[in-house]
Amino acid sequence: MTDRAYQKICVLGLGYVGLPTAAVFASRGVDVLGVDIDERAVALINDGKVHIVEPDLDILVKGAVAAGKLRAKLVPEKADAFIVAVPTPFTDGKKPDLSFVQKAIESVATVLKSGDVVIIESTCPVGTTDSASRWLAQARPELTFPHTDGDDADVQVAHSPERVLPGRVLIELVRNDRVVGGVSGTCAKRAAQLYRIAIEGDCHLTTARTAELVKLSENAYRDVNIAFANELSLVADKLGIDAWEAVRLANRHPRVNILNPGPGVGGHCIAVDPWFIVDSAPDETPLIRAARGVNDAKPVHVANAVRDASKRMNSTNIACLGLAYKADIDDLRESPSVDIVADLANSGDLNLVVVEPHCQALPDKLANLVGVSLANLETALADCDVVVLLTDHTAFRDLEPEAHETKTFIDTRGLWK
Ligand code: SAJ
């Protein structure tokens, strides 16, 4: 059911959050214009196709485009609401890079009219949504905005962070609760009214600044807890204890829920967002910073363990299973598995046979390194004496290390425990 206030919306940024969001609103009968700077993505979407891998997204986009409810363009058009879902990476100095958000907001400013709602879904440092309201006001001085005019403003500005898990985006987009933070109370109410067209979860209304911190806290919480598990795994290794067994048994306690140790933390969110908190309160965040350090150091620890095994086995033939940052996806961004293979390649004397069932070719970071090749599982197992499991893909689950007595297996994920 469309809400009469929202006949048409623009979604800026057609990535793994923006495109599913656009398609879900379109499937609810809203006229949706998706906007992206990537010409190839725009052309594919207008053809009813998708440029990212996410279960069922292709079907939803195809249907929405065929029904005339979803189109894509390089620039926005007039609409009733604008959802900004562009990336917010960090710079080399671990500072947030808001240039994509700022450019998207500037392009919205060119088509904005009184009564419109602008919502930022991109993860951003506290204060960004208030800044967006100021940026819009600078571009459109004849309109009023909530940072100066509060509930009486012509245009509403809000932050509602995306919280979906890659691999389950379409389910979580509709079912998860949403935090909706407004620069004013009216901003939050109007933004929630939009989400209720498509969202089954509850909308929790708050301020834009609180909503910004909520999102950052969620990912920092996970990072800190994974760091705890990773630190425990180093302790367990040193003491000759199976870390996954220790975690599993500790979790039998009714108030303990330790996460799983792994080769490090990848993806474009959990390894990045904690730095946005550290940047805004550096003196108050020793724990969050330390957790980042523990998780970032884990790939080096794994690479050293592989080099030790190679020496013990007197063999330089190493099978590396998995490159993606987590199981059963093709996403290699910030993946510790890629970093570990690159680190091992820098040793100079190893023959690294990589198996990644979700990729047809090695990523740029590995493609030109000496001694790294891509192979299937059978070839890698036949040719290598050390086997390191880096990503817990289902395709590796049935491999039985005990059936290969002459090889050394390093299981960084606890998949075969
Ligand atoms: N990991 C572990 N041990 C664990 C759990 C995860 O080592 O017990 C590793 C994974 O292997 C991976 C990394 O952490 O390398 C992150 O994976 P993830 O599944 O925890 O999270 P993401 O990055 O795919 O998605 C997260 C989600 N946030 C939370 O669960 C708090 C998702 O809900 C957010 O929408 C997303 O970040 C985002 O966009 O911010």
Displacement of CA 210 from its chain's centroid (Å): 21
> How far is residue 18's CA from residue 8's CA, in Å, rounded to a whole number?
15
Taking the CA of residue 269 as reference, the ligand 1 atom at the shortest distance is 40
Pocket probe mutation, ligand 1, options 121, 270, 296, 298, max atoms within 8 Å of Cβ: 270
* Digit-coded pLDDT (tens) for 135-155: 999 999 999 999 999 999 999
Question: Is 298 designated active site?
Answer: no
Q: What is the Å distance from ligand 1's center to 204 Cα?
A: 23
| CB 320, CB 388: distance < 8 Å | yes
pLDDT of res. 134:
98
pLDDT class of 36 with cuts at 50, 70, 90? very high
pLDDT of res. 417:
83
Establish whether residue 263 lines the binding site of ligand 1, counting it when its CB lies within 6 angstroms of any ligand atom.
Answer: no
pLDDT of res. 23:
97
- Token code pair at residue 97: 């890079």
**Burial category of 403 from C-beta neighbours within 10 Å (exposed 0-12, middle 13-18, buried 19 and up):** exposed
pLDDT of res. 413:
97
Give 246 or 55, the one with higher predicted confidence: 246
Establish whether residue 220 lines the binding site of ligand 1, counting it when its CB lies within 6 angstroms of any ligand atom.
Answer: no
Alpha-helix runs per DSSP H in 206-357: 208-239, 243-250, 273-280, 286-313, 336-345
> How far is residue 386's CA from residue 312's CA, in Å, rounded to a whole number?
10
Buried b (16+ CB within 10 A) or exposed e, 41-70: bbebbeeeebbbebeebeebbbebbeeebb
Question: Is 10 designated active site?
Answer: no
Mean pLDDT of 240-248: 97
In the set 10, 187, 269, 384, the catalytic residue is 269
pLDDT class of 53 with cuts at 50, 70, 90? confident
* Rounded-to-5 percentages of helix, strand, coil across the chain: 45, 15, 40
Mean pLDDT of the chain: 96
The residue whose C-alpha atom lies closest to atom 1 belonging to ligand 1 is 265
pLDDT of res. 2:
57
Establish whether residue 198 lines the binding site of ligand 1, counting it when its CB lies within 6 angstroms of any ligand atom.
Answer: no
pLDDT class of 67 with cuts at 50, 70, 90? very high
**Burial category of 253 from C-beta neighbours within 10 Å (exposed 0-12, middle 13-18, buried 19 and up):** exposed
Taking the CA of residue 262 as reference, the ligand 1 atom at the shortest distance is 7
For a pLDDT cut of 70, what percent of the chain falls above it?
99
Displacement of CA 325 from its chain's centroid (Å): 10
* Digit-coded pLDDT (tens) for 175-205: 999 999 999 999 999 999 999 999 999 999 9
Q: What is the Å distance from ligand 1's center to 284 Cα?
A: 24
